[in-house]
């Protein structure tokens, strides 16, 4: 169905609709957000079923990580949009005399392209869409070809709520994505890998289109467990997070650095927590999600086999069901290949370090590409806050995992190889807006200081104004 001609036609219809200025009305935007919320609630069962068919997710996990988060995000936007969209008024300054008033209007970009990934096919499509709608834009959503059931439900949700000239869903593979990127959009929001993120930026450069990228990070996300940490608490939270979506989460823990003084005890805690939460046989637990496809399974299994002699937890899989056990590999050197790339699966390498050499560990981590998330477990809050204030990363937690994503009113995204831009709540509204500054001039009392012929005292007077 989708080819260059039909995609171009869809984009042009949206461009024509945007030019009607209907999306500029704040009350109208709020009505569209309500329509989106109702559609998500209406298709809640279909969303859960699609996530189970595509990723093996349970109904609880589907609501916890997709449906519930989308509704929460929309509610925040409905509550704050009037305030966020209100034009700002600034004093123009003495250099602009006799003008005293300057406005900053929050202007939508126009026609936006949202390229969503497979791991959270609803959240990372509709959550971003909500931000685009709040900003007053139209949107084309390009879904992942790896989650066909989710795409089918997304098409139902969008077509039930919006006309195609306002929001439309495009399915297909990488070739279709490239056809979309060949079009001139006014804003692109991509979620995925750094490699494809670079490709998106290259394509966007042809039209000088601004881009927001949410990327997993080339070297993965670090979790550091100090010797003074509450080991049981750390193990409980880390096990929960690594089980979630079978590790296929951009902010998930990619590798753990644990103080060697408590490493054995921590591994014991981690083993018990995995068993408590998912059972002794996770491959046959219906609540345990599976990897997205055979290619992802084969990649995971191949890497696990390379470290087979060092696997202390898990290590087995079932290619027919695409499930692979949570697998802990220890010890792993900090320079080994497995800790130098994003895993996106249930493998969990453990790097040990002497607690007194924590500065060397941090120096090594900070010398690599910036991670999307950083997690610290320690009772030394002063050290933790100091570390978080110095390293470069997207976001993170101290003595917790992933929940920074759920905090209202704060931004989310990475930096460098883990992304650019920010969204969620007001930050999502800002990401899909351009602030336009407009000075309101006067027709009387205008000064001639800036005009030819320059008076000998003009420079002196200008400097006085500046001071």
330 Cβ partners below 8 Å, 6+ apart? Answer: 263, 267, 310, 312, 349, 350, 352
Q: Is the pLDDT of residue 462 over 90?
A: no
Q: What is the pLDDT of residue 455?
A: 76
Domain ranges of the chain: 4-215+432-436, 221-406
CA gap 422, 432 in Å, rounded: 10
CATH fit for domain 221-406, picks 3.20.20.140, 1.10.760.10, 3.40.309.10, 3.40.50.2000: 3.40.309.10
Q: What is the pLDDT of residue 375?
A: 98
Catalytic machinery residues: 214, 250
Whole-model pTM? 0.94
Contact 353, 375 (CB under 8 A): no
CA gap 137, 28 in Å, rounded: 12
Residue 177 has a CB neighbour count (10 Å cut-off) of 23
Share of the chain above pLDDT 90, in %: 90
Q: What are the backbone angles phi and psi of residue 356, rounded to the nearest 5°?
A: -70, -10
Nearest to 241 by CA among 375, 360, 52: 375
> Would 4-215+432-436 and 221-406 be classified into the same CATH topology?
no
Which of 44-53, 109-118, 197-206, 440-449 is predicted with the least confidence, judged by mean pLDDT? 440-449
Q: What is the pLDDT of residue 88?
A: 95
CA gap 196, 191 in Å, rounded: 9
Contact 43, 157 (CB under 8 A): yes
Give the pLDDT confidence of 231-279 residue by residue, as tens digits. Answer: 999 999 999 999 999 999 999 999 999 999 999 999 999 999 999 999 9
Q: What is the pLDDT of residue 378?
A: 98
Mean pLDDT of the chain: 95
Give the pLDDT confidence of 193-244 residue by residue, as tens digits. Answer: 999 999 999 999 999 999 999 998 888 899 999 999 999 999 999 999 999 9
Task: Give the H or E element holding residue 225.
Answer: strand 221-225
CA gap 29, 38 in Å, rounded: 14
Nearest to 326 by CA among 339, 313, 337: 313
For 13-25, what is the mean pLDDT? 98
Q: What is the pLDDT of residue 140?
A: 98
Task: Give the H or E element holding residue 112.
Answer: strand 111-115
The CATH number of 4-215+432-436 is: 3.40.605.10
Q: What is the pLDDT of residue 445?
A: 85
Which of 149-163, 367-381, 444-458 is predicted with the least confidence, judged by mean pLDDT? 444-458
Quickly state the pLDDT bin for 309 (edges 50, 70, 90). Answer: very high
């Amino acid at each position: 169905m989708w080819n260059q001609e039909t995609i171009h036609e869809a984009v042009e219809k949206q461009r024509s609709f945007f030019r009607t200025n209907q999306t500029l009305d704040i009350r109208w935007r709020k009505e569209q957000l309500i329509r989106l919320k109702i559609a998500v609630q209406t298709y809640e069962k279909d969303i859960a079923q699609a996530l189970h068919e595509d990723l093996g997710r349970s109904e609880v996990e589907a609501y916890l990580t997709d449906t519930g988060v989308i509704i929460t995000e929309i509610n925040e936007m409905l509550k704050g949009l009037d305030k966020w969209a209100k034009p700002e008024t600034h004093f123009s300054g003495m250099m602009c005399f006799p003008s005293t008033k300057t406005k900053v209007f929050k202007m939508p970009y126009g026609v936006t392209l949202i390229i969503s990934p497979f791991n959270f096919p609803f959240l990372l499509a509709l959550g971003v869409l909500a931000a685009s709608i709040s900003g007053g834009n139209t949107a084309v959503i390009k879904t992942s070809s790896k989650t066909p059931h989710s795409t089918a439900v997304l098409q139902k949700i969008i077509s039930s709520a919006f006309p195609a000239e306002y929001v439309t869903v495009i399915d297909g593979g990488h070739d279709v994505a490239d056809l979309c990127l060949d079009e001139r959009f006014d804003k692109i929001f991509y979620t995925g890998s750094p490699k494809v993120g670079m490709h998106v930026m290259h394509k966007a450069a042809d039209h000088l289109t601004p881009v927001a990228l949410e990327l997993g990070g080339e070297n993965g996300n670090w979790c550091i467990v100090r010797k003074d940490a509450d080991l049981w608490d750390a193990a409980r939270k880390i096990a929960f997070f690594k089980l979630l979506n079978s590790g296929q989460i951009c902010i998930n823990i990619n590798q753990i650095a644990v103080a060697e003084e408590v490493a054995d005890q921590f591994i014991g805690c981690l083993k018990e927590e995995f068993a408590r939460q998912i059972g002794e046989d996770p491959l046959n637990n219906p609540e345990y999600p599976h990897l997205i496809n055979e290619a992802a399974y084969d990649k995971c299994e191949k890497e696990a086999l390379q470290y087979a002699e060092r696997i202390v937890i898990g290590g087995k899989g079932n290619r027919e069901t695409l499930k692979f056990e949570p697998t802990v590999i220890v010890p792993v050197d900090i320079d080994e290949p497995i800790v130098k790339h994003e895993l996106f699966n249930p493998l969990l390498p453990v790097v040990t370090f002497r607690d007194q050499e924590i500065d060397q560990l941090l120096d090594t981590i900070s010398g690599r590409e910036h991670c999307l998330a950083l997690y610290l477990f320690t009772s030394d809050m002063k050290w933790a806050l100091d570390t978080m204030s110095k390293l470069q990363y997207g976001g993170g937690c101290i003595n917790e995992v992933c929940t920074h994503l759920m905090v209202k009113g704060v931004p989310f995204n990475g930096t460098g190889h883990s992304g650019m831009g920010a969204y969620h709540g007001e930050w999502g509204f800002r990401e899909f807006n351009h602030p336009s500054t407009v000075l309101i001039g006067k027709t009387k009392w205008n000064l001639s200081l800036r005009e030819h012929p320059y008076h000998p005292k003009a420079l002196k007077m200008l400097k006085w104004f500046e001071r």
